[in-house]
Amino acid sequence: MDGKESKNNRQEVSMWLLLIEDEVRLADSLKAGLEEEGYLVDVAYNGVEGEALALANAYDALIVDWRLPDRDGKTVIVHLRAAGRQYPILMLTALGDLEHRVAGLDAGADDYLAKPFKFEELLARLRALLRRPPLVVQEQVVRLGSLELDTRRRQAVLDGAPMDLRPKEYALLEDLMRHPDEVLSRTVIAERVWGDPFYVTDNVIDVTISSLRQKLASAQVGGNGRQVLRIETVRGVGYRLTTVSAS
């Protein structure tokens, strides 16, 4: 590809990004590089400012550092997801251990990139996030049996009582509810709930399924042949949400 063709392709991007990064030199360097690639870039240097911008504007994607002054990146992401903001989020972190990566994804990030990183890899991950099809506008309230989800507030109510769910438990439950009696493979779950099947282990999914099962079981009123919700394991395939008669 010659220089003219490359420049034209960059200009065609025209995606609006928000970068939340407190390291001024890094933030300014990333902004300059992204703008050279054709992106429109706003920058916030702390979590409070970044969250306010993200709530006020319709960005195509966010790049959020974990360690931020005033409000850390994980908390910012949790607040944005709770407010119903569904844009793709790439988290930057110098904390490379598995526990922090899982915590970032559980908070609602779609992907993560450990510092230090190559700019080319950031571009590749950003392109991958932006290639995903836009979310289809769906109904605000989803119901299945005695379970009701308010998808705007990201709240679940079962048998009239609110459920205490972690972000990924809620996202998994919503996906299962939208496909009742349909078997969802671990790969599909990883893609839809965690955003990328290559960075989520089967153990992480299984632990989330187990926790969600326990919360469903403890919250439902059974007995007298009443229909209750269960998450079933289809060995070698995946999981499905179905209704069964309680004993």
pLDDT tens column, 151-189: 767 788 988 889 999 888 988 998 898 888 999 888 888
Residues of the chain with CATH 3.40.50.2300: 3-131
Superfamily classification of domain 3-131: Response regulator (3.40.50.2300)
Query: Quick one: pLDDT at residue 99?
Result: 66
Question: What pLDDT shows up at residue 24?
Answer: 95
Strand order across the 111-114 sheet: 40-44, 16-20, 61-65, 89-93, 111-114
Of 175, 143, 148, 180, which Cα lies nearest the Cα of 162? Answer: 148
Extract the tokens encoding 162: 């609110």
| Residue 107 confidence (pLDDT) above 50 | yes
Q: Name the band, by pLDDT with cuts 50, 70 and 90, for residue 34.
A: very high
HEC readout, the chain: CCHHHHHHHHHCCCCEEEEECCCHHHHHHHHHHHHHCCCEEEEECCHHHHHHHHHHCCCCEEEEECCCCCCCHHHHHHHHHHCCCCCCEEEEECCCCHHHHHHHHHHCCCEEEECCCCHHHHHHHHHHHHHCCCCCCCCCEEEECCEEEECCCCEEEECCEECCCCHHHHHHHHHHHHCCCCCEEHHHHHHHHHCCCCCCCHHHHHHHHHHHHHHHHHHCCCCCCCEEEEEEEECCCEEEEEEEECC
* Residue 225, pLDDT score: 58
Which residue carries 């970044």 as its tokens?
50
pLDDT digits (tens, 9 = 90+) for 76-95: 998 888 777 888 999 998 76
Residue 247's pLDDT is: 60
Q: Which fold has domain 141-245?
A: Arc Repressor Mutant, subunit A (1.10.10)
Q: What is the pLDDT of residue 16?
A: 92
Percent of the chain scored above 70 by pLDDT? 83
What are the two backbone dihedrals, phi and then psi, of residue 156, each rounded to the nearest 5 degrees? -120, 135
pLDDT in tens, 200-242: 788 889 999 999 999 998 877 655 557 788 999 998 889 999 9
More confident residue, 4 or 225: 225
Q: Is the pLDDT of residue 106 over 80?
A: no
Q: How confident is the model at residue 9 (pLDDT cuts 50, 70, 90)?
A: very low
pTM score > 0.75 for this model?
no
Q: What is the average pLDDT across 40-64? A: 91
Residue range(s) of every CATH 1.10.10.10 domain in the chain: 141-245
What is the pLDDT at residue 20?
A: 97
Residue 12 has pLDDT above 60, yes or no: no
